[in-house]
Amino acid sequence: MADPLHNEFPAGSLEDKDLRHLLHPTTNLKLHHQVGPVIHDRAEGVYMWDTRGNQYIEGMSGLWCTALGYGEEELVRVAAEHMRKLSYSQLFGSKSNEPSILLAEKLKQMAPFDAGRVFFGSSGSDANDTQIKLMWYYNNVVGRPEKKKIISRKKGYHGVTVAAGSLTGLPAFHAHFDLPLDRVLHTDCPFYYREAEEGESEADFVDRIVGNLEALIEREGAETIAAFIAEPIMGAGGVIVPPDGYFDKVQALLKKHDILFIDDEVICGFGRTGQPFGAQTMNLAPDTMSVAKAVSSAYLPLSAVLIPEWMYEPMIEPSGQVGNFGHGFTYSGHPVCAAVALRALELMEERDLFAHAARVGEEFQARLHALADHPLVGNTRGRGLIGAVELVADKASKQPFEASQAVGYNAMRFCEENGLIVRALGDSLALCPPLIITSDQVDEVFTKMTRALDQTQAWLGR
């Protein structure tokens, strides 16, 4: 019997050790053992190099996160300074540290709603786990113990921990993991290109799926539903931009039924969509918010949950009754992470990076939508410096390729061969470059992507 873990890389090489020792997250493990890893070695600005010396332009900001690009010396300086001064401190038991206090203050000032308190974690997943726990805690202490369900959306991505993974609406993140939890409900994805019925206008599509959401609320009982969670623009689900009017009608419905709105800004936050937050781009008025990724430009892990003061105040007395507010992480408010995140946000302001990203984003979107003319491209979508192209077998009918053809994966590999990092989300190729990208570098991204699409078309022809 063949060894499924056998590989052809030289014994003792990094590739060999990777294949023998690592369990890779969010990876096709079978395919990984067939082709092996691409091992990144160094990076600077918007470019990255692998251990074989190949250079890539970073079209994905790592995982939607390195807003300031790579090798930012000011963040290196701050990290080193705070490692020497206070390498670790915690927030348990009334302890605190200056970077966490100042970062919380800064995030409240920046927030697109009236934020009252900031809770720190390490990842978007733990932030959205925290959102669920705070919703449950809040409703318990205000005397609504039945109001616990959370509505998410199909194709939404909110993390991978047990609770956040339940919010995620992508089948691969549920399969074999016994998810989702039974307190999580999923409603329609606002993806007009794929989900609209034949002949249905965007306005009719919005009315239908919002009607489905209202039917779900009425069927479950609004008195049992605590919150609705949404990304302003869906990221890992395929960079899906809701049609005009969708969020206006959803928010009116939530208000009518006393259901809170959790804004997941983990991908959209801090300039990605052309505004400081996706909420501003999509005209949202959330009750709470999750941030991570670009908050520290991913130089160190940090996430935050922002809640209003009216939600915090009822938690104070009950915590005294039981002797503790029993939620928190070892790395909540890590002083080095907080200091780096604070300086990252300051650099964004000092360099007017959001305005730069909005200007370059216009060029980015123009080049992105020009790809709609390519024979393989059925749909282009995005805002600011985030976008995707969807590859189809037939443009007129929107017929997708068979999954077994792995067209998106192979197109991604052709992009890599041309020195461009993208992410294949099924047969959609996602782009999310660092906010520091220049006009010339945007041209480089789309020149390389066009070449890769041509190669994909030729490969399919063969």
Q: Taken in order 373, 374, 375, 377, is the CA torsion positive or negative?
A: negative
At 133-158, the pLDDT tens digits run 999 999 999 999 999 999 999 999 99
Q: Are residues 449 and 358 in the same domain?
A: yes
Long-range contacts of 15-19 (CB under 8 A, 24+ apart): 15/39
What tokens were used for 369? 């939508």
Run of H or E including 453: helix 439-461
Range of the domain at 367: 38-71+353-461
The tally of domains found in the chain comes to: 2
At 413-439, the pLDDT tens digits run 999 999 999 999 999 999 999 999 999
Dist CA 249 CA 242 (whole Å): 12
Check which CATH number belongs to the domain holding 320 and give it.
3.40.640.10
350, 383, 401 - which closes a domain: 350
Considering the domain boundaries, does residue 364 fall inside one?
yes
Exposed, middle or buried, 176 (CB in 10 Å: 0-12/13-18/19+)?
Answer: exposed
Q: Are residues 101 and 147 in the same domain?
A: yes
Q: Are residues 170 and 221 in the same domain?
A: yes
Considering the domain boundaries, does residue 24 fall inside one?
no
Considering the domain boundaries, does residue 27 fall inside one?
no
Considering the domain boundaries, does residue 95 fall inside one?
yes
At 115-136, the pLDDT tens digits run 999 999 999 999 999 999 999 9
Considering the domain boundaries, does residue 110 fall inside one?
yes
Considering the domain boundaries, does residue 14 fall inside one?
no
* 161, 323 Cβ separation under 8 angstroms: no
Strand order, beta sheet including 117-121: 117-121, 303-307, 288-291, 260-264, 225-230, 149-153, 184-187
Q: What is the pLDDT of residue 8?
A: 84
Phi first, then psi, for residue 401 (nearest 5°) are -75, 155
Q: Are residues 138 and 277 in the same domain?
A: yes
For residue 100, give the 3-state DSSP assignment. Answer: helix
Considering the domain boundaries, does residue 1 fall inside one?
no
321, 350, 379 - which closes a domain: 350
Q: Are residues 367 and 342 in the same domain?
A: no
Q: Which residues contact 438 (CB under 8 A, 6 or more apart)?
A: 360
Considering the domain boundaries, does residue 180 fall inside one?
yes
Q: Are residues 61 and 97 in the same domain?
A: no
Dist CA 428 CA 74 (whole Å): 35
Q: Are residues 332 and 431 in the same domain?
A: no
Q: How many CA atoms lie within 13 A of 402 on its CB side?
A: 3
* 189, 210 Cβ separation under 8 angstroms: no
Q: Are residues 345 and 399 in the same domain?
A: no
Q: Are residues 43 and 184 in the same domain?
A: no
350, 366, 381 - which closes a domain: 350
Check which CATH number belongs to the domain holding 375 and give it.
3.90.1150.10
Dist CA 18 CA 92 (whole Å): 37
Q: Are residues 252 and 398 in the same domain?
A: no
Average pLDDT, consecutive stretches of 10 residues, N- to C-terminus, the chain (462 residues)? 65 94 93 93 98 97 98 98 98 97 98 98 98 98 98 98 98 96 97 97 98 98 98 98 98 98 98 97 98 98 98 97 96 98 98 98 98 98 98 96 94 98 97 98 98 98 90
Q: Are residues 222 and 98 in the same domain?
A: yes
Rg (CA), the chain: 22
Q: What is the pLDDT of residue 5?
A: 61
At 17-50, the pLDDT tens digits run 999 999 999 999 999 999 999 999 999 999 999 9
Alpha helical stretches, state H, 5-55? 14-21, 29-35
Place of tokens 């999750």: 290
For residue 201, give the 3-state DSSP assignment. Answer: coil
Could you tell me which of 397, 462, 398 has the C-alpha nearest to residue 427? 398
Q: Are residues 295 and 435 in the same domain?
A: no
Dist CA 274 CA 385 (whole Å): 7
* 411, 456 Cβ separation under 8 angstroms: yes
